[in-house]
Amino acid sequence: MLRLEKSKEHQSEILSLFGEVDASNSVILDEAIQELVDGGSKSIIIDGKKLEYISSAGLGVFMSYLEDFHEKGITMKICELTPRVNEVFKILGLDQLIPIYQDRAAAFAD
């Protein structure tokens, strides 16, 4: 099960993820990110503090936006991933494509 919360902090849109992102619900994540893009967001921070699991479908959502974000000048950062989820990002090399920070303060500072 996936739950999302949106908020705004320091001129960034925060998308907090709770639970698990898998093939059955990755479209929810996709729609939430697309809504932020359509709303004109230029800075998006994904807070993964309560994200317990992410499948390849969930990772694919992030990958699908990389080129679009680059072309539109949108920055996306990820923070507070659990060790388990962080390892998945590292194994697939996504930490080289999307900045990952230990906490929100570090994401805002960069």
pLDDT digits (tens, 9 = 90+) for 12-26: 999 999 999 999 999
Confidence of residue 110 (pLDDT cuts 50, 70, 90): confident
Mean pLDDT of the chain: 96
pLDDT of amino acid 103: 96
Question: How confident is the model over 88-108, as a mean pLDDT?
Answer: 95
> Phi and psi (nearest 5°) for 25?
-135, 5
pLDDT of 31 reads 98
Q: What is the pLDDT of residues 22-57, one digit of tens each?
A: 999 999 999 999 999 999 999 999 999 999 999 999
Average pLDDT in the 60-83 region?
96
